[in-house]
């Protein structure tokens, strides 16, 4: 069975999440933990396949646990549960290495299990709001009149034409599965992990004077396939 650690600030919500994952079948659900310290202990004991974590915990945040994953649990993927996809802390977490996020507000029953499996398979969509923010970030350089050198064009901090086109489609609300079906390819093949939530966000240029956060070993992946 696939092992998953649950971490969240609201006991009622984590109980509901535990029930939903178990009902979907195939999950060994560990926890829940309600603080970063309790979640860290579960990670050390079980080294799970997946960590499902609220963006903010009773003590600490998902970013605290991302640093734990980076320093000894590189195989564990992280799915962040957040009510607001425009929360600045969510984009910070994606830049730090979170693999995907689940919008908790208004989510249909069973949606968490679907998103969790997509996170593990590498076929996660980018929410339209986040896709728009990523496009705004990368387009800012071009709007400033920069002429991109050959080195910049091959840089992981620069979007390829295929990646830019895909982000525009996602920003319009198109679903990856529908686009992949139209192209006759698998969703994971079309997306590649360079345009998955955590990889696309991690390629954003850091604030002036700050280093790019080190990426976990599991994040290395091919670029998006151009169609």
Q: What is the pLDDT of residues 207-218, one digit of tens each?
A: 434 444 443 433
Task: Tell me the pLDDT band of 55, cut-offs 50, 70 and 90.
Answer: very high
pLDDT at 156 exceeding the cut of 70: no
pLDDT at 227 exceeding the cut of 90: no
For the entire predicted model, the pTM comes to: 0.68
What's the rounded mean pLDDT across residues 164-171?
Answer: 79
Task: Tell me the pLDDT band of 223, cut-offs 50, 70 and 90.
Answer: very low
String of b and e for 138-159 (b: at least 16 CB within 10 Å)? Answer: beeeeeeeeeeeeeeeeeeebb
The CA distance from 87 to 188, in Å, is 26
For the ranges 7-11, 101-105, 124-128, the maximum mean pLDDT occurs at: 7-11
What's the rounded mean pLDDT across residues 77-103?
Answer: 87
Task: Tell me the pLDDT band of 140, cut-offs 50, 70 and 90.
Answer: low
pLDDT at 10 exceeding the cut of 90: yes
The CA distance from 102 to 79, in Å, is 7
Contact 73, 47 (CB under 8 A): yes
pLDDT for position 5: 97
pLDDT for position 151: 45
pLDDT at 120 exceeding the cut of 70: yes
Task: Tell me the pLDDT band of 33, cut-offs 50, 70 and 90.
Answer: very high
The encoded tokens of residue 190 equal 């079309």
């Amino acid at each position: 069975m696939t092992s998953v650690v649950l971490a969240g600030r609201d006991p009622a919500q984590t109980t509901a999440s535990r029930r939903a994952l178990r009902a979907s079948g195939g999950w060994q659900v560990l926890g829940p933990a309600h603080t970063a310290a309790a979640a860290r202990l579960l990670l050390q004991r079980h080294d799970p396949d997946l960590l499902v974590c609220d963006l903010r915990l009773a003590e600490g945040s998902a970013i605290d646990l991302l640093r734990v994953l980076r320093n000894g649990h590189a195989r564990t993927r992280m799915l962040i549960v957040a009510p607001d996809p425009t929360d600045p802390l969510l984009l910070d977490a994606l830049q730090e290495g979170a693999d995907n996020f689940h919008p908790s507000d208004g989510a249909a029953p069973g949606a968490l299990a679907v998103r969790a499996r997509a996170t593990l398979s590498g076929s996660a969509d980018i929410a339209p709001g986040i896709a728009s923010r990523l496009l705004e970030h990368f387009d800012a350089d071009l709007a400033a009149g920069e002429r991109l050198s050959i080195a910049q064009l091959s840089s992981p901090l620069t979007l390829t034409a295929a990646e830019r086109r895909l982000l525009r489609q996602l920003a319009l609300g198109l679903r990856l599965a529908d686009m992949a079906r139209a192209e006759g390819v698998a969703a994971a093949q079309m997306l590649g992990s360079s345009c998955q939530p955590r990889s696309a966000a991690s390629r954003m240029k850091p604030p002036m004077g700050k280093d790019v956060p080190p990426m976990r070993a599991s994040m290395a992946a091919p670029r998006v396939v151009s169609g």
